[in-house]
Amino acid sequence: MLTPVARSEIDAALISDEFQHNPYPLMARLQDEAPVYWSESIGAWIVTRYDDVQTTFKVTRQFSNEGRLGKAVDYLPAAERARFGAFEQHYATKSLIHSDPPDHTRLRGLVTKAFTPRVIEGMKPRIQAIIDELLDQALAHSGPVDLIGALAAPLPATVLAEIMGVAQADTQLFKGWADDILSFQGLNRPPVPILERAQRGIVALRAYLTELIAERRRRPGSDFLSQLVAAESEGERLSTAELISTCVTFFIAGHETTLSLVGNGLLALLQHPAQLAQLRADPRLMPSAIEEMLRYESPVPRQPRRVAEPAVLGGQALPTNAIVMQFLHGANRDPRQFPDPHTFDIRRANNRHMAFGFGIHFCVGAPLARVEAPLAVAAVLRRMPQLRLVNARADWDISKPNSRLLHSLWVEH
């Protein structure tokens, strides 16, 4: 049983910069002492053990995706909350990651019908060309290279723009809107200025997408957005509101997850020279290396679920409408599931991590990330034979609690 003093210390630590830089010691303590822990500072039940997190993915009847992010404004007085109508309306709309069956089944079936593994596999040559172009630019000048700014950030943005049929010149707009919208996630009681920033991003991105969708209706193309628009008009299987909300998800998640995977994975290799040497010596290890990167530094560290009906988890009674915060990076380093979990081992067997979620909510974009990341990492290792870190301390971007990503990754090559 944690004492009031210990709880106060833990709550302060959970929202500290130190935790953002290195969350693993505190998560190990919670796994041992309070695996389902009420955090006053985050406004949610924190779940850190693998089995408990998996339960919150599997039992959608009790742990729902619907309404989970819109509740971030619930703590505000009514007059203050009224200012966030656009925010609440957006998250009240059912979309791919904000719905449960049967709506989720319908939406996922529609998206995966257009976004098939065969389509993604066919994109490999173009993805490789983009990687080569980015590295050509980065290596055109001598001196250190920031692999985040030069490769990890522009790669998924460029690929996503081509998939969705968006002008490359607009990719920076999407980066800014994604940063705005993600700024509140990972906390259930974010400060008002953060909520205002998120709402501005939502309004701007929705307006852009509304115009883009109208253009696709007038002049459809072969891109993914045109396919979604066409599906919307066939029997109203996807409403306009659902279409816009789903596209918001694609633009945000499709960009940041791959950015994190490539950057975090390269950092892990550089911090573990023996593992880097093994991968250079045997490129066949790349698939298992990518999975270990996902486990070791999970790109999306936390995800909320709304308690749809009273539940008991880890011996704790959870009331209806409470928020459960899945700490995925904790679950993926749970010693009850992974032997020696804090060791980075690219040969790790039975690596059933949950970096991309689990069950019906497994990330629909995971196949694309698993194509982009190995191509990017392999190209860096091939073209930078003397690869080494400029700074020993990792430059983590701590501005978004729901994102585990680097601000920069400077290397000599």
- The model's pLDDT over 363-407, given as tens digits with 9 standing for 90+, comes to 888 889 999 999 999 999 999 999 999 998 999 999 888 889 999
Contact at 8 Å (CB) between 69 and 98?
yes
| Residue 22 reports pLDDT greater than 60 | yes
| CA proximity to 291, closest of 373, 397, 362 | 373
pLDDT (tens digit per residue) in 149-201: 999 999 998 998 888 888 888 888 888 888 898 888 877 788 999 999 999 99
Give the neighbor-by-neighbor strand order of the sheet with 36-39.
36-39, 44-47, 323-327, 302-307, 63-64
The yes-or-no verdict on residue 245 having pLDDT over 60 is yes
pLDDT at 14: 94
- Match 């949950």 to its residue by tokens: 354
pLDDT tens-digit map of 290-329? 999 999 999 999 999 999 999 999 999 999 999 999 999 9
Contact yes or no for 255/157 (Cβ under 8 A): yes
Chain centre distance of CA 28: 22
More confident call, 260 vs 222: 260
Q: 351-363, pLDDT tens digit by residue?
A: 999 999 998 888 8
Tens digit of each residue's pLDDT (9 = 90 or more) over 82-141: 999 999 898 888 777 778 888 888 778 777 776 777 888 889 999 999 999 999 999 998
Residue 204 burial (C-beta neighbours within 10 Å; 0-12, 13-18, 19+): middle
CATH of 4-412, one of 3.40.50.1980, 1.10.1040.50, 1.10.630.10, 1.10.1740.110: 1.10.630.10
Average pLDDT, the chain: 90
Q: How confident is the model at residue 233 (pLDDT cuts 50, 70, 90)?
A: very low
The span from the CA of 32 to the CA of 314, in Å, is 12
| Beta-bridge mates of residue 47 | 36, 326
Structure-token pair, residue 109: 């079936």
**Separation of alpha carbons 274 and 279, rounded Å:** 9
Q: What is the mean pLDDT of residues 276-284?
A: 97
As given in the structure block, the two tokens for residue 118 are: 């065969």
Q: How many CB atoms lie within 10 A of CB 310?
A: 11
Where does 234-271 have alpha helices with state H? Answer: 240-271
pLDDT of residue 232: 55
The pLDDT of residue 75 is above 50: yes
- Confirm if 332 and 358 have CB atoms less than 8 A apart: no
- Supply the pTM of this predicted model: 0.92
In sequence order, what are the residues at sequence separation of 6 or more whose Cβ sits closer than 8 angstroms to the Cβ of residue 358? 53, 54, 57, 58
Q: What counts of helices (H) and strands (E) characterise the chain?
A: 19, 12
Q: In terms of Cα–Cα distance, which of 85, 42, 124, 90 is closest to 303? A: 42
How far is residue 99's CA from residue 105's CA, in Å, rounded to a whole number?
9
The band of 237, judged by pLDDT with boundaries at 50, 70 and 90, is low
Tell me the per-residue pLDDT of 26-47, one tens digit each, with 9 for 90 and over: 999 999 999 999 999 998 999 9
Q: Please report, as a single letter, which amino acid is at residue 87.
A: F
Would you list the domain boundaries of the chain?
A: 4-412
Report the distance separating Cα 268 and Cα 213, nearest Å. 40
Q: Coil, strand, or helix at residue 165? A: coil
